[in-house]
């Protein structure tokens, strides 16, 4: 009986490989460097792009028809890990019951999270990038007005980072 317990158990099924989606295939055909990640539970394609390739890829996606930046935000993967700048794009058109969607993720080092601003492609990135800067400390190069939007200008730290320690006291200056 002890011999049977030590035998390796064969895998029931091999995991199916994730197939690149339509948008990822188009980017590959046109020479845009990216990595295809598994789609989310709703089937939305997720594409990983290096910070250096964000602007060319974003411009290509805009030319492809993704004319609406629905969401831009930040994600902290945990203390000592990367920060992520996320962009959810939609192709809005006439007579579109179910518009195409794609999510672009840019993984950034925690020590120097710098990524180009997409403000010049989608103006809706203005306040969204400012909020990601204010809460996570992600710096959007080329943004026309990158400053705090929710916290006071003299606030120290990035409140939505998972390693952030809240101060015990904050003195309001000129409150009245």
Please report whether residue 87 resides in a domain. yes
pLDDT for the residue 154: 86
- As a whole number of angstroms, the distance between CA 37 and CA 114 comes to 22
Which token pair is 104?
A: 């672009």
List pLDDT tens digits, range 144-174: 999 999 998 888 999 999 999 888 766 666 5
pLDDT for the residue 89: 97
Say yes or no to pLDDT of 12 above 50: no
pLDDT for the residue 14: 43
Please report whether residue 3 resides in a domain. no
- As a whole number of angstroms, the distance between CA 150 and CA 8 comes to 56
Please report whether residue 123 resides in a domain. yes
pLDDT for the residue 15: 47
Please report whether residue 117 resides in a domain. yes
List pLDDT tens digits, range 78-128: 999 999 999 999 998 876 778 899 999 999 999 999 999 999 999 999 999
Which token pair is 71?
A: 């969401």
Asked if 106 and 50 touch (Cβ cutoff 8 Å), the reply is yes
Please report whether residue 137 resides in a domain. yes
List pLDDT tens digits, range 14-54: 445 667 889 999 999 999 999 999 999 999 999 999 999 99
Please report whether residue 54 resides in a domain. yes
Which letter, b or e, does each residue of 81-104 get, where b requires 16 or more Cβ atoms within 10 Å of its Cβ? eebbbebbbbbeeeeeeeebbbbb
pLDDT for the residue 13: 46
The SS3 call for residue 23 is helix
List pLDDT tens digits, range 118-140: 999 999 999 999 999 999 999 99
Please report whether residue 9 resides in a domain. no
pLDDT for the residue 63: 95
For 75, phi and psi rounded to 5 degrees?
-140, 135
Please report whether residue 85 resides in a domain. yes
Residue range of the domain that includes 50:
22-160
**Domain tally for the chain?**
1
CATH of the domain at 108: 3.30.460.80
């Amino acid at each position: 009986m002890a011999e049977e317990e030590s035998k390796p158990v064969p895998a029931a099924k091999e995991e199916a490989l994730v197939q690149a989606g339509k948008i990822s295939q188009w980017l590959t055909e046109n020479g845009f460097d990216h990595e295809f990640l598994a789609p989310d539970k709703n089937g939305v394609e997720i594409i990983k792009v290096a910070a250096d390739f964000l602007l060319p890829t974003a411009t290509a996606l805009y030319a492809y028809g993704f004319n609406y930046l629905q969401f831009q935000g930040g994600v902290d993967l945990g203390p000592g890990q990367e920060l992520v700048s996320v962009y959810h794009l939609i192709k809005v058109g006439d007579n579109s019951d179910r518009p195409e969607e794609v999510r672009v993720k840019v993984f950034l080092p925690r020590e120097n999270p710098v990524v180009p601003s997409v403000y010049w492609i989608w103006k809706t990135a203005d306040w969204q990038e400012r909020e990601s800067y204010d809460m996570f400390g992600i710096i959007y190069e080329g943004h026309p007005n990158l400053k705090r939007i929710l916290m006071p200008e003299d606030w120290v730290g990035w409140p939505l980072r998972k390693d952030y320690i809240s101060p015990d006291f904050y003195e309001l200056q000129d409150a009245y």
